[in-house]
Amino acid sequence: MKRLLSIFILLITITACKDNKIEQGEIEYKITYPYNSNVTGVMQMMLPKEMNVKFKDTKMIATVKRGKMFTTQIVSDEATQELEMRLYFGSDVIKTFLTPEDVDLFLETQPQYELSKPTKADSLVGCSTFKYTVDCKADTIPPFDSYFTEDLTCQNAAWFTAYNGAKGMPLVYLIDRFGIIMKVEATKFTPKEITEKDFEPTKKYETVSFKKYDKKLNDLFKIMTE
């Protein structure tokens, strides 16, 4: 009887460990442009080089900045499918809340990726990872590998992107928007307390439609790539 009780306790412990996810923290990423040979001179000075992601439970905020020139943020919650985008660039201080129809429209503007079945890969920034081989037949770049971690409570962080269907939080992946392909790679992960204040805007944003917001962001990238 004692042996059966010990086995039962062991099984409960193992199950608890499997379900134990890191609930909050911060991930730092570097951004490079290996597929854009024209990223030189002024363009190189303007395009972002870093991204920061903070998450708590199923909610996350991704921030991309380039000095004091501009800041973009995406606030998402995979549990409620809520999505907010913010842009600060010169006199444009705007934000938009995407409806389900807007999310569909946003997805239509992104590449159509085919993801392989995930395979276990080496750990990155202290997190275990799974590798997806990604193929975009309509694109000129060859298939590439993306890495996701399932160690965090965000299990569908890419639900509004071309990676929808990949499980976990992306650690190495590509962002293909407005003719620019950014390679995003995690460089540091810090488990830490994240509060609701971390998701709140630090500026007074004007709320606009998604179409207006997307056009402004497109115009920004045009300026940076001309």
pLDDT tens column, 82-135:
999 999 988 899 999 999 999 999 999 899 999 999 999 999 999 999 999 999
pLDDT digits (tens, 9 = 90+) for 204-226: 999 999 999 999 988 887 776 66
Q: Please give the model's pTM, rounded to 2 decimal places.
A: 0.87
Side chain identity at 101, as an amino acid letter?
A: E
CB half-sphere exposure, 73, CA atoms < 13 A: 21
Q: Taking a C-beta distance cutoff of 8 angstroms, is the pair 85, 95 a contact?
A: yes
Return the DSSP state at 193.
-
Taking the C-alpha atoms of residue 157 and residue 98, their distance in angstroms, rounded to an integer, is 16
HEC assignment per residue over 89-135: ECCEEEEEECCHHHHHHHHHCCCCCEECCCEEEEEECCEEEEEEEEE
Residue 89 φ/ψ, nearest 5 degrees: -155, 105
Give residues with Cβ within 8 angstroms of 101, minimum separation 6. none
pLDDT tens sequence across 6-61 = 434 333 333 333 468 999 999 999 999 988 777 666 667 778 899 999 999 999 99
Query: In which region does residue 175 sit, left (phi positive, over 0), alpha (psi from -120 to 50) or beta (all else)?
Result: beta
Helix (H) or strand (E) holding 149: strand 144-149
Task: Let me know if 33 is exposed, middle or buried by CB neighbors in 10 A (0-12, 13-18, 19+).
Answer: middle
Query: What was the pLDDT predicted at 45?
Result: 74
Q: Which of 60-69, 130-139, 172-181, 201-210 has the highest mean pLDDT?
A: 201-210
Which domains occur in the chain, in start order?
Answer: 18-225 (2.50.20.10)
